[in-house]
Amino acid sequence: MTAPSKRPNFTGATTVVAVLLGVMWIVELVNQFLFRDQLDYLGIQPRSEVGLRGLLFAPFLHADFAHLISNTVPFAVLSFLIALRSLLRFAAVTLSVMFGGGFAVWLTAPSNTIHLGASLLVFGYLGYLLASGWYERSTSAVVVGVLVLLVYGSLLWGVLPIVPGVSWQSHLFGFLAGLLAARLLARRRASNPYTNRPLS
């Protein structure tokens, strides 16, 4: 059986990342100028039933434009690196971080707070890219992991509760969800009977 091509899908990766960033920017424009920040209440509200909707909406909401700008570049770079390899893998990692990491935030963060922002995904992608090289032991994954660590390794300080007003829980649990996604996806790859066949 002939294995599918593993050539990078630049067009697909670029399109997916551009669409997601476009949604974030449009949402923030609408939130700021039409809803006067009222959409922020769609973020994760810990241990509130209505706050569970934040698992879906929180990554696309931001406190202000400065918050969105700070997330835009790392989101674009890290998400592109995963999507370039496989759009299906990117979707799996994204959903794992949104719902796995987001639920951990909902479960453990202080009550009467709202957690939002793409940093949940940024830290999830960071964790995935750092761990995938270790679990998969492929040259490309290791090289990408090392480069990501050199460029974005300083972000790891964000998992500590050292900056008031910043959701370190989103950073921590997003990162851990990314690590877990790397482990689970590597295990699935190892169990694939077609060893030269990509996951997607």
Question: What residue ranges do the domains of the chain occupy?
Answer: 10-190
b/e string for 82-115 if b means 16 or more Cβ within 10 A? Answer: bbbbbbebbebbbebbbebbbbbbbeebeeeebb
pLDDT, average across residues 33-48: 96
Query: What is the per-residue pLDDT for 188?
Result: 65
Q: What is the pLDDT of residue 197?
A: 42
pLDDT of amino acid 194: 45
Residue 189 has pLDDT above 80, yes or no: no
Q: Encode pLDDT of 72-118 as tens digits.
A: 999 999 999 999 999 999 999 999 999 999 999 999 999 999 999 99
Q: How far apart are CA 2 and CA 197, in angstroms?
A: 9
Find the angle CA(89)-CA(77)-CA(146) to the nearest 5 degrees.
Answer: 80
Give the pLDDT of residue 39: 97
Q: Residue 136: its pLDDT value, please?
A: 87
pLDDT the model gives residue 1: 45
pLDDT score for 3: 47
Looking at every residue in the chain, the average pLDDT score rounds to 91
* Residue located via tokens 């509200």: 45
Q: 10-190 has which CATH code?
A: 1.20.1540.10
Number of H helices, E strands in the chain: 8, 0
Residues 47-80 have pLDDT tens digits of 999 999 999 999 999 999 999 999 999 999 999 9
For the stretch 134-170, pLDDT in tens is 998 889 999 999 999 999 999 999 999 999 999 999 9
Angle (deg, nearest 10), helices 139-152 and 119-136: 140
